[in-house]
A and B are shown apart, each in its own frame.
Chain A
Amino acid sequence: MAQRIVTRPNDVRFKGLGPGFWPVTMVLTLLSIVNALYFLYGSIDWIMPGASQPVTDRASDIDGLFKFMAVFGGAIMLFVAGYVIYFAIAFRARSSDSPDAVGVQIHDAPKLELWWTVLPTLLLIVLTGLSIVVWYKIQFGTAAPGLTTEVIGHQFYFEYRYPGLKTSVFSKTSPMHLPVGVPVRLLITSTDVIHQFWVPEIRLKAAAVPGLVQNLNFTPLRTGTFDVACSEFCGVDHSLMHGKLVIEPVAAFKKWLDSENKTAAAAGGAINLAAGTPATGQALFAQKCAACHQIAPFEQKLVGPGLLHITDDPAHPALVTGKTPTPEHIAEILQNGFTGPIGTMPNRQANGLSNTDIANLVAYLSSLK
């Protein structure tokens, strides 16, 4: 028995690919070309800081990838949005339509589907290849590093260690310095929680993970001062974990290292606790300590414990070093800091405390009754 398919008449009322299809396509192509020209030749400094004068070699590689993606991604976006809007308008149901009007009853178009699978795949293969080249350069570097610097994340500051420098440099009191033109390797880790070291102009970041050391390799290409930010949530003052990076000529860098060495040597000497004044200490506390400590009972932890009655309460718990809360032991912690499982008490350099500062703070804390 013959099988017949009888279907409803097709209600197609347009010619070709639709009314105005080709003009719309031309406009979208033109817009895509404008988009491409803009990203290839225009200034993208407003979105990628320092793009017109790359700060590092890797930065210009990454910007190149970004531009490639902006050119093609922009074109795809223009065509998708453009055609969706065009189809919605060109093929809208008119009020003169009968209620049973239907559209073109097609189910597929194998050749078209092949092209729209193959072309994006080819594009992604090219993009993958480009990304792999840049990835390789970032991960394995090209030259042996001329300088290796350690970056150690703490709550809520970065500590930098340089070869030949006996003490560390702390982001709260001093910028990080790097010499221009020297390939540098940063070794990044953390002592407490996960942080992330990021300088937007460098375009690279790495997580500072406790128990792990990560590498970042790049060569600074020009001088300047740049912002350092922590970009992995690390606690209550994550938003305040900032610093600066100074990239300077090699001679200036060497001079800076020398002066750091001298400052470290000069910072010794005894702390005269008797010379501290509570009033000065109170002002200093608000500036340096209040971000993490409250003047409240011990249990009221902000980041560190509350400090009320720290010296006059005989039942007060031991300090984090295990010692009793006497002015001398408190001064010790302010000097040396402490790193525990969750949390770091910064040492005096990290906090930028001089001997008199420590004396004043101790006097203030002892005055709290």
Chain B
Amino acid sequence: MAAAAVQHLAGHEAVAARYRDVDRAYGETRDLRLLGFMFFLVSDCILFSSFIFAYVYLRVSAPTWPPIVDGHQLPWFDTSFAAMNSVVLFGSGVTMHFALENWKHLNTRKFNGWLIATIVLGIGFLLGQAHEYSVVNISWQGSTMGASFFTLTGMHGFHVFIGVCYLAILGIQANRGVYTSSKYFGLTAGTLYWHFVDVIWVALFSLFYLW
């Protein structure tokens, strides 16, 4: 019963022509991994957003802020040191940007320089956080202020630490010739991740030190 059929073709040919090249048939690899990595950053963002929601909820529903523990009101955070530490971190974002730009233009030595600067600044930030933790006069367990501060900045610090390790590995890989001037997705991912860590810090700094 299968009669010969004429397929309605106007419009279809145009669509198919765009995909005639079999190499491009399944979408481009560059988009795949970049998209995947961006989605990963989105989900990481939601993780931070959820804890930020918890912090805002607890702060807004508390009778006083800082909360009163054992009859004493906890002190506000000291903004000046944290502000300096933030400059260190944002600076590392700038250096990372230059590292990637230099890689694209095949300046391996300059790339290495900027990458090392980024790593050093990142470690500097972590040391600054360690100092802040030792100086801040609240405990993780004593109040919701401590709970939210240490949990959120701790998660962030963990992300910075992973980032520093990742950048170091990227540096080693780059110098071993794994990446070329046109194929360097790992470096792009590292840069994006590092900028993400900066963006999260903007939010945390504003929420804990400026609010």
The answer to A–B direct touch (Cβ < 8 A) is yes
CB distance from B109 to the nearest CB of A (A): 60
Write out the residue numbers on chain A whose beta carbons fall within 8 Å of the beta carbon of B30. Answer: none
Q: Is the CB of B1 within 8 A of A98?
A: yes
Measured between alpha carbons, how far is A100 from B8 in the docked complex, in Å? 22
Say whether A122 faces chain B, with CB atoms less than 8 Å apart. Answer: no
Write out the residue numbers on chain B whose beta carbons fall within 8 Å of the beta carbon of A4. Answer: 6, 8
CB distance from A111 to the nearest CB of B (A): 26
Say whether B16 faces chain A, with CB atoms less than 8 Å apart. Answer: no
Q: Is the CB of B1 within 8 A of A3?
A: no
Q: Is the CB of A5 within 8 A of B8?
A: yes
Q: Is the CB of B6 within 8 A of A6?
A: yes
Return the CB mask of B66-91 against A: 1 if under 8 Å, else 0: 00000000000000000000000000
- Residues of B1-46 whose CB lies within 8 A of A: 1-3, 5-6, 8-10
Write out the residue numbers on chain B whose beta carbons fall within 8 Å of the beta carbon of A8. Answer: 1, 3
Measured between alpha carbons, how far is A150 from B65 in the docked complex, in Å? 29
Interface residue from A3, A5, A6 paired with B3 (Cβ < 8 Å): A6
Nearest residue (CB) in B for A4 is B6
Measured between alpha carbons, how far is A3 from B1 in the docked complex, in Å? 22
B-side binding surface: helix, strand, loop or mixed? loop
CB distance from A5 to the nearest CB of B (A): 5
Interface residue from B2, B5, B9 paired with A3 (Cβ < 8 Å): B9
Nearest residue (CB) in A for B4 is A6
Write out the residue numbers on chain A whose beta carbons fall within 8 Å of the beta carbon of B1. Answer: 8, 98, 100
- Residues of A1-26 whose CB lies within 8 A of B: 3-8
Measured between alpha carbons, how far is A186 from B201 in the docked complex, in Å? 45
Nearest residue (CB) in B for A211 is B61
- Residues of A73-110 whose CB lies within 8 A of B: 98, 100
Write out the residue numbers on chain B whose beta carbons fall within 8 Å of the beta carbon of A5. Answer: 6, 8
CB distance from A35 to the nearest CB of B (A): 44
Measured between alpha carbons, how far is A7 from B9 in the docked complex, in Å? 14
Write out the residue numbers on chain A whose beta carbons fall within 8 Å of the beta carbon of B10. Answer: 3
User: Hey, which bits of chain B sit against chain A, CB under 8 A?
Assistant: 1-3, 5-6, 8-10
User: Hey, which bits of chain A sit against chain B, CB under 8 A?
Assistant: 3-8, 98, 100
Give me the 5 closest cross-chain CB pairs, A-B, nearest first: A5-B8, A100-B1, A3-B8, A3-B10, A4-B6
**Would you give 17 A-B contacts (Cβ < 8 Å), ordered by A?**
A3-B6, A3-B8, A3-B9, A3-B10, A4-B6, A4-B8, A5-B6, A5-B8, A6-B3, A6-B5, A6-B6, A7-B5, A8-B1, A8-B3, A98-B1, A100-B1, A100-B2
* Additional pairs, 14, CB under 8 Å, beyond known A3-B6, A4-B8, A6-B6: A3-B8, A3-B9, A3-B10, A4-B6, A5-B6, A5-B8, A6-B3, A6-B5, A7-B5, A8-B1, A8-B3, A98-B1, A100-B1, A100-B2
